[in-house]
């Protein structure tokens, strides 16, 4: 059982380039998320999805786009890379949560992105 798989593991981009961070999960989780983690800062939510065809903005969505055409995949798109987007990006998935249920987030191993 692979869990949440992210590709690539590392990437260096020049300012203005674009790329897609891939995320796929094989746990049949409806909910998926993209977080970024900067040194000394907590994980910040970029976008999330509660099911195929449904996406919503998180706390820091500017400069990013997502799509959710299948339950398994939740790619994150950077259109015009900027140095402020240098970060570690984590994709996560979970079962739908109900009041009192833990439904913890399961994280992928992250993509380390540098924009120069």
Partner 1 sequence: GQNIDQPTEMTATEGAIVQINCTYQTSGFNGLFWYQQHAGEAPTFLSYNVLDGLEEKGRFSSFLSRSKGYSYLLLKELQMKDSASYLCAVREVAGKGNLIFGKGTKLSVKP
Among 5, 19, 22, 50, binds partner 1 (CB under 8 A): 50
User: How many CB atoms lie under 10 A from the CB of residue 96?
Assistant: 11
Using CB under 8 A as the binding rule, the residues of this chain from 59 to 78 that contact partner 1 are none
Token pair for residue 29?
């989780």
Residue 14 burial class via C-beta count within 10 angstroms: exposed 0-12, middle 13-18, buried 19 and up:
exposed
Among 33, 64, 74, 89, binds partner 1 (CB under 8 A): 33
Nearer to partner 1, 14 or 62 (CB): 62
Letters for 87-106 (x = contact with partner 1 by CB under 8 A, - = none) are ---x---x-xxxxx-xxxxx
User: How many CB atoms lie under 10 A from the CB of residue 55?
Assistant: 18
Nearer to partner 1, 26 or 97 (CB): 97
């Amino acid at each position: 059982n692979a869990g949440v798989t992210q590709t690539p593991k590392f990437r260096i981009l020049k300012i203005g380039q674009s790329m897609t961070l891939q995320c796929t999960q094989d746990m049949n989780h409806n909910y998926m998320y993209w977080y970024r983690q900067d040194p000394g800062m907590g994980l910040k939510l970029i976008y999330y999805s509660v099911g195929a065809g449904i996406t919503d903005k998180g706390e820091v969505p500017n400069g990013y786009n997502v799509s959710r055409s299948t339950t398994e995949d939740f790619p994150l798109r950077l259109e015009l890379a900027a140095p402020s987007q240098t970060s570690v990006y984590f994709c996560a998935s979970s079962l739908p949560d109900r009041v009192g249920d833990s439904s913890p987030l399961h994280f992928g191993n992250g993509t380390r992105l540098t924009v120069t």
